[in-house]
C-alpha cells in the first residue's frame, strides 16, 4: 500500500506539469518514436572512443557513470517544493563528488509529447548519444535523496547486464504486479541494446489519447494497478513480461540492497539500521536512496 500511494502521488504530481501545451496530436493508430532509428551504435561509439583517447569510458578500472536527474522548468505550486528540490540536487552533487560520478540536472522538456514522468526517456537517449564516453546512465528522480552517502554501487556485478533496476522476479512474472520494479532509480548501459529498449518503451508515453488508452491496457494486465493513464514504470513492467525472451537476459533485478526505497516504509527504521549497520549487501541494508514524494 505504501508503494502504491507513492506511485500514485508521483503520477498526479507529474501529470499536473503540462506547461499549458496543446493536447497531443499523436493518433492512437500511430507508433510513437523517440527519433530517427539509431543503428550500429556500439560500433560508432567504439570508433569515437578510439579517436578520443582523452575521454575513456573507464577511469582507474571503473566505468564512467553519469547521474541524471531533473525537474519541471516552472516553479513548484508550493514554494517549499523548490526548497526541497534545491536540497535534493545538493544531496546528489555531494554523493557524486564522493564517488567520482558526473551529474546532469535537466529542466527542459526535450519532447512535448513525453511530458511528466515520461520525460526521462528522451533525455536518457539524448545523453547517451551526446556522451559516448559515458558507460552507464544512472537515472534518479528529483524527489529521491541519497541516505547512504558511502555506499558504492557494485558496478562490476553488472558486467554482463545492460539495465539494473530494483525489483523482484516473483512479483514481476508470477504476480504480474504493477509495483514489481521501481523506475525511480535505475542504471542503463550506453549501448545499442539500451537504445532499442528505449524505442520499445516509449510508444505508450505520448500524452493524450495514446497514454489514456495505454493506461487501460496496463490496468487490465497488471495486478493491483488503479485506472489511470499509462506511466513509465507500468509500461516497462508490461514490456518485460510480454517480451521476456527479448529483454530479460540483459536486465538485472536488484534486490540485495535498496537501489530505490520509499521513506514511509523506511524512516521509522533508521535507528534500527544504524544499530546493525555492516559493510556489504542485503535487502534490509539502509537504502542507498529514498523517495520522499508525498511527504
pLDDT digit string (tens) for 100-109? 999 999 998 8
Helices (H), 71-185: 79-99, 120-130, 169
Whether 73 maps to a domain, the answer reads: yes
Whether 238 maps to a domain, the answer reads: no
Whether 271 maps to a domain, the answer reads: yes
Whether 37 maps to a domain, the answer reads: yes
Instruction: Show the domain range for 89.
Output: 2-10+32-170+181-209+247-291
Confidence class for position 23, pLDDT limits 50, 70, 90 = very low
**Domain at 160, CATH number:** 3.90.550.10
Q: Which residues 6+ apart lie within 8 Å of 171 measured at CB? A: 177, 179, 180, 181
pLDDT digits (tens, 9 = 90+) for 58-78: 999 999 999 999 988 888 888
Whether 214 maps to a domain, the answer reads: no
Asked if residue 262 has pLDDT above 60, the reply is no
- Give the model's pLDDT for residue 21: 45
Q: What is the mean pLDDT of the chain?
A: 85
- Count the domains in the chain: 1
Whether 105 maps to a domain, the answer reads: yes
Q: What is the mean pLDDT of residues 185-209?
A: 97
Asked if residue 202 has pLDDT above 90, the reply is yes
Whether 175 maps to a domain, the answer reads: no
Q: What is the pTM of this model?
A: 0.83
Whether 241 maps to a domain, the answer reads: no
Amino acid at each position: 500500500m505504501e508503494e502504491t500511494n507513492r506511485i500514485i502521488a508521483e503520477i498526479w504530481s507529474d501529470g499536473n506539469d503540462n506547461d499549458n501545451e496543446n493536447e497531443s496530436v499523436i493518433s492512437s493508430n500511430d507508433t510513437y518514436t523517440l527519433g530517427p532509428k539509431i543503428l550500429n551504435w556500439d560500433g560508432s561509439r567504439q570508433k569515437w572512443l578510439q579517436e578520443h583517447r582523452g575521454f575513456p569510458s573507464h577511469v582507474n578500472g571503473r566505468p564512467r557513470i553519469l547521474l541524471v536527474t531533473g525537474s519541471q522548468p516552472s516553479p513548484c505550486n508550493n514554494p517549499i517544493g523548490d526548497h526541497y528540490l534545491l536540497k535534493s540536487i545538493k544531496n546528489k552533487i555531494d554523493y557524486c563528488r564522493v564517488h567520482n560520478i558526473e551529474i546532469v540536472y535537466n529542466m527542459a522538456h526535450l519532447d512535448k509529447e513525453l511530458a511528466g514522468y515520461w520525460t526521462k526517456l528522451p533525455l536518457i537517449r539524448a545523453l547517451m548519444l551526446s556522451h559516448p564516453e559515458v558507460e552507464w546512465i544512472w537515472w534518479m528522480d528529483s524527489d529521491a535523496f541519497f541516505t547512504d552517502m558511502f555506499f558504492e554501487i557494485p558496478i562490476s556485478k553488472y558486467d554482463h547486464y545492460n539495465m539494473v533496476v530494483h525489483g523482484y522476479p516473483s512479483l514481476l512474472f508470477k504476480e504480474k504486479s504493477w509495483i514489481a520494479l521501481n523506475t525511480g532509480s535505475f542504471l542503463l548501459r550506453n549501448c545499442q541494446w539500451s537504445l532499442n529498449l528505449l524505442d520499445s518503451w516509449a510508444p505508450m508515453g505520448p500524452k493524450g489519447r495514446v497514454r489514456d488508452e495505454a493506461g487501460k491496457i496496463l490496468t487490465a494486465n497488471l495486478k493491483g494497478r488503479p485506472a489511470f493513464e499509462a506511466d513509465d514504470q507500468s509500461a516497462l513492467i508490461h514490456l518485460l513480461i510480454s517480451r521476456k525472451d527479448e529483454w530479460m537476459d540483459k536486465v538485472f533485478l536488484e534486490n540485495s540492497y535498496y537501489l530505490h526505497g520509499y521513506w514511509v516504509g523506511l524512516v521509522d527504521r533508521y535507528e534500527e539500521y544504524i544499530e546493525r549497520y555492516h559493510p556489504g549487501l542485503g535487502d534490509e541494508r539502509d537504502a542507498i536512496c529514498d523517495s520522499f514524494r508525498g511527504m
